[in-house]
Amino acid sequence: MTKFLQLAVVGISTGSAFALVGIGMVLIFRTTNIVNFAQGAFAVIGGLVMVGLVDDMHGIVAGTLAVLLVALIGALIGVIAVGFRTRTTPLASLIITLGLALLASSLNLLAFGDRPHTYPTIFERAWNIGGVLVQPQFVIVVGVTVLAALLLTLGLQRTIAGQALVACADSRRAAELVGINVRAVAAIAFAVSAALSALGWVLLTPIDPVNYDSDVRIAINGFAAAAFGGLVSIRLALVGGLALGLAEQLIVGYAPGQARQYELAAALVILLVLIGWRSRHEAVE
Amino acid sequence: MKLLEVDDLTVQYGPAVAVDNVSLELEEGERVALIGPNGAGKSSLINAICGMVKPARGRIRVRGRELTGASPGAIVRMGITQVPEGRQVFPTLPVEANLLLGAYGRDFRNELISATIRYLRRKGEIADRLERVYTLLPKLHELRERPAGQTSGGEQQMVAIGRALMAEPRLLAVDELSLGLAPMVVHGLSEFLRRLNEEEGVALLLVEQNASLAFALCSRAYVLETGRVVLSGTSEELENNENVRNAYLGSGLEAADA
């Protein structure tokens, strides 16, 4: 039981980080119609920069700097992806993000080398609850994820700024006609979603080390979480991310021998089944 | 002072010339039509006026103020809004959000955060304007919570017009009002635009392929062909012009029927 609970705690934490990546993808898709494959790179750069900075300064300062830096990179990628011509299609933008993701991973390889990076946790102590070790980071990442999901859902539905964001994806032409600066909106959406993804791995690197090519795994997990919500539902992206994280940890913990290497594939199959079940459920309604 | 003056305007897409040296003007409170076949440059012309494409040459002025090359938002603030071709509502947003976003460029400028602050500060005034749009177009009040994409074509055209009115324009540029709508619906909308013009003094620039609708609604018209103004005059003059009758009013068919 203790083993199960411990795996669940870790699973929910990594699941939250996947959910943050997925929520970021949903945010970008809902505001620009772009499926952003550079989303994994945001997480990796966040984690790597954190590892690079954490020895020289207080962990909270390092984390804040890493998140802000990635937000800035995100804004830049957003502007490039949306393009300088009015007629850049979402498909072209998708290819641009894919290219930028490859570029980012090459640059990460040059800058950080080919080995997994991690740092010892910045918090002095963890809580021991009946034999289950709960690190403060776990609580923070879960809290941030739930809070982000809540605020973004409300923000997009209830505020004029959120509706302006959604309007850009709904009809770029009309959004421009009413005076919304579509490129600025894309930059904001990308910056926020980059910051969320980075935050996940700034917090989680101690239990889930990052390498230059971790972005593929992270992007796939995030995309699967986002796909669970049809790329438009923040709430379901949260559920999808948590389910993936949990499933992967449990497979790592309980699957026999070699099988545990395939935790990602197995988790994706589970999610695919869930997506299928959900869409049938919706079709019936 | 003229409300709108366009001088020698040229719009190019690469080497293709869409609008070729066009000049036109429009008085406060006037109703003017731009007619012409597909690809004549009508839409390019009003898109240049609304800041959606940058003209290659020429000038556009609103009440004497230069707006050539200004952003769409800046042009909205100068009192020109467009009802775009094909309506272009925000389909996933409720009708009311569609309308509120019409006030975005006018009142909120570009930045999302200051937009929200301004919105909260001017909530009362914007709510009054929303009430007025609902009074003018009561149907929108009934539909206010429905996603705009789930309303009929005519209703979407109302949403697009209502959205444009939220910016309190002095000039409403309507691109293809009649496109894809039933004649009854078009009639209702054009009567609405006439009333809006007569009662509120909003000037109209109507881009139309349906020339009889354009002549019925507008007092003057310009005929565009391959990017140039080939004819202009009062609707009456144009209606009686033989070339216009043959090309745009289908009088040949009516004669055959008789």
Encode pLDDT of B74-122 as tens digits.
Answer: 899 899 999 999 889 999 999 999 999 998 876 555 566 666 666 676 7
B165: closest CA of chain A, how far (Å): 11
Token pair 């080939």 in the structure block, residue: B230
**Calpha distance B208→B198 (Å, rounded):** 20
Set of chain B residues whose Cβ sits within 8 Å of the Cβ of A188: 112
Task: Give the pLDDT confidence score for residue B115 in this predicted structure.
Answer: 65
Buried/exposed code over B215-242 (b: 16+ C-beta within 10 A; e: otherwise) = bebbebbbbbeebebebbeebeebbebe
Which of B96, B99, B110 would best serve as a mutation to test chain A binding (most A beta carbons within 10 A)?
Answer: B110
H-helix or E-strand containing A154? helix A136-158
Chain B contact present for A151, CB below 8 A: no
Q: Measured between alpha carbons, how far is A96 from B221 in angstroms, rounded to an integer?
A: 45
Spatial CA neighbour of B115 closest among A164, A188, A90: A164
Portions of chain B given CATH number 3.40.50.300: 1-79+169-258
Q: How many residue pairs from chains A and B have C-beta atoms closer than 8 A?
A: 99
pLDDT computed for residue B126 by the predictor = 87
Q: What is the pLDDT of residue B117?
A: 67
Q: What backbone phi and psi angles, to 5 degrees, belong to A188?
A: -65, -45
Least confident segment among A195-209, A261-275, B115-129: B115-129
Contact at CB, A178 and B108, closer than 8 angstroms: no
Out of B72, B113, B160, closest to residue A179 by CB: B72
Cβ distance B110 to A180 less than 8 Å, yes or no, reads: yes
Distance CA A195, CA A212 (A): 18
E strand segments, B71-183 = 80-83, 171-175
Q: Does A27 touch chain B (CB under 8 A)?
A: no
pLDDT given at position A285: 45
pLDDT at residue A125, as a whole number: 77
Whether residue A257 lies within 8 A of chain B, CB to CB, comes out as no
Find out whether A41 and A104 touch, Cβ atoms under 8 Å. Answer: yes
Three-state DSSP state, A75: helix
Q: Kindly state the tokens that stand for A215.
A: 């972005």
Single-letter code of the amino acid located at B78: M
Report d(CA B191, CA B104) in Å as an integer. Answer: 27
Of B89, B91, B105, the CB nearest to A179: B105
Q: CATH number of the domain at B1-79+169-258, out of 3.40.50.300, 3.40.30.10, 3.40.50.720, 3.40.50.970?
A: 3.40.50.300
Q: Among residues 59-98 of chain A, which lie with CB inside 8 Å of chain B?
A: 86
Q: What is the pLDDT of residue A91?
A: 85
Q: Tell me the β-bridge partners of B59.
A: B7
Per-residue confidence (pLDDT) for residue B237, from 0 to 100: 93
Q: What angle do CA A260, A266, A270 make, to 5 degrees?
A: 145
The count of domains in chain A is: 1
Strands B80-83 and B65-66 come out as: unpaired
Q: How far apart are the C-alpha atoms of B165 and B171, rounded to whole Å? A: 10
Please report, to the nearest 10 degrees, the dihedral formed by the alpha carbons of residues B181, B185, B186, B187 taken in order: 160
**Closest residue, chain A, to B79 (C-alpha):** A178
Q: Is A157 on the interface with B (CB under 8 A)?
A: no
SS3 B188: helix
* Lookup: tokens for A212: 């230059």
- Mean pLDDT along residues A117-123: 80
Q: What is the least distance, in Å, from the CA of A79 to any CA of chain B?
A: 15
Q: Which two tokens stand for residue A262?
A: 């395939």
The CA-based angle A143-A147-A148, given to 5 degrees, is: 115
Query: Is A105's pLDDT higher than 50?
Result: yes
Q: What is the pLDDT of residues A226-269, one digit of tens each?
A: 998 888 899 999 999 999 999 988 888 888 877 777 878 887 88
How many other β-carbons are positioned within 10 Å of the β-carbon of residue A22?
36
Euclidean distance between CA atoms A265 and A44, whole angstroms: 20
Amino acid at B187: H
A188 at B interface, C-beta within 8 A: yes
**What's the rounded Cα separation, in Å, for the pair A40 and A42?**
5
Q: What is the 3-state secondary structure (H, E, C) of B39-51?
A: CCCHHHHHHHHCC
Q: What share of chain B is helix, strand, coil (3-state, %, to 5)?
A: 45, 25, 30
Contact B112 A175 (CB under 8 A): no
Q: By three-state DSSP, how is residue B126 classified?
A: helix
Q: Which of A163, A174, A184 sits opposite B88 (nearest CB)?
A: A174
Chain A residues in contact with B116 by the CB 8 A cut-off are: 159-161
What is the reported pLDDT for B103?
A: 87
> Over pLDDT 70: what percentage of chain A?
97
Sign of the CA dihedral running A99, A110, A264, A68: negative
Domain that holds residue A185: 2-284
B45-65: average pLDDT = 92
CA angle (A243 as vertex; A240, A248 as ends), nearest 5: 125
Instruction: Return the residue in B112, B119, B122, B175 with the most chain A beta carbons within 10 A, the one to mutate for interface testing.
Output: B112
Among residues A162, A190, A168, A223, the alpha carbon closest in space to that of A76 is found at A190
B contact set with A (CB within 8 A): 50, 52, 71-74, 76-77, 81-82, 84, 88-93, 97, 100-102, 104-106, 108-113, 115-116, 119, 160, 163, 167
Roughly how many angstroms between the first and final C-alpha of chain B, as a whole number?
47
Mean pLDDT, chain B, integer: 89
**For A131-148, how does the pLDDT look when each residue is reduced to its tens digit (9 = 90+)?**
888 888 889 999 999 999
**Cβ–Cβ under 8 Å, residues A20 and A241:** yes
Q: CA B166 to CA B105: how far, in whole Å?
A: 10
Closest among B116, B129, B95, B48 to A170, alpha carbons compared: B95
**Nearest Cα to Cα of residue B88 among B156, B39, B185:** B156
Residue A213 forms contact with B (CB below 8 Å): no
User: What does each C-alpha distance from A236 to A149, A162, A189, A199, B133 come to in angstroms?
Assistant: 10, 19, 19, 20, 36
Given an 8 Å threshold on Cβ–Cβ distance, is B88 in contact with A167? Answer: no
Rounded CA-CA distance A221/A207 in Å is 17
pLDDT in tens, B154-199: 999 999 999 999 999 999 999 999 988 999 999 999 999 999 999 9
